[in-house]
Structure 1
Amino acid sequence: MIRILLAEDDPAMRTYLERALENAGYEVVAVDRGTDAIPCLEQEKFDLLLSDIVMPEMDGIELAQQCARISPATKIMFITGFAAVSLRASREAPQAKVLSKPFHLRDLVLEVQRVFGHSEQAWI
């Protein structure tokens, strides 16, 4: 089973995304900030880091850089509601996919499937 580490500071969005990904068949560990994600990356194996970019203490880009150092095999996907931040992410982490808010949950699941080379599956 694909394991996803979700870092999202907004509690409602975090719950929403966690449920959607679990309903799609992924195992999800959710944290509310980048600094809480680091120990998870050090202690467990994750296939994907799904991170908001704008978060307190450590932004998603810095988290992605730490992830690349700690767990280089972990794929990275960003979610953000800010276009300028999206451009920065594309420049500083070009291997990462950036999904701009607002998005439909189906779009998120499809992007995760694409990251792992899976075809579209019914999940609702």
Structure 2
Amino acid sequence: MMIRILLAEDDDVMRQYLTRALEKSGYAVTAVDRGTAAVPLLESESFELLLTDIVMPEMDGIELAQRASVLAPEMRVMFITGFAAVTLKAGKTVPQAKVLSKPFHLRDLVLEIDRMFEVGSAAGLT
């Protein structure tokens, strides 16, 4: 089964970069540029993971994750952010979510997602 990821990232370059890298790693990615664009997709499609930046215009990633927990309670959430203070808020508001701080290596992102879904053999990777 191919894992479907909904990516919400307002930075165009980062969004394209993450989309390409995750698709190369075998994931199906639907990417949007803001939280408000993600909500209709959450209402009409199913995803295994919401990968979202926290700081975005219109609707931040924390608010998006809260909406997602109502619309798709079984979906997992991973935040990506460059702001340490926001990381603390995310951890308190959505405690079950993973938080990856920018800058990060793509390899680390893919490993974290693989671990979330126990894909492949993570045991041999260090």
- Establish whether TM, by shorter chain, passes 0.5: yes
User: In the alignment, residue 51 of structure 1 is paired with which amino acid?
Assistant: T
**Which whole-Å CA distance do the structure 2 matches of 1:101 and 1:55 have between them?**
14
The list of structure 1 runs, each at least 4 consecutive aligned residues, that deviate by more than 4 angstroms after superposition, is none
**Match of 2:37?**
36
**Match of 2:94?**
93
Q: Secondary structure at the match of 2:57?
A: coil
Q: TM-score, normalised by structure 1?
A: 0.95
**Match of 2:21?**
20
1:81 paired with 2:65, answer no
Q: How many equivalent pairs are there?
A: 121
Identity of aligned residues (%): 69
1:120 paired with 2:122, answer yes
* Per-residue CA distance 1:3-46 (angstroms, 9 max, x = gap): 00000000000000001100000000000000000000000000
* Per-residue CA distance 1:33-78 (angstroms, 9 max, x = gap): 0000000000000000000000000000000000000011110000
Q: Secondary structure at the match of 2:122?
A: coil
Q: Which runs of 5+ in 1 are unaligned?
A: none
What is the aligned-residue RMSD (CA, Å)?
A: 1.0
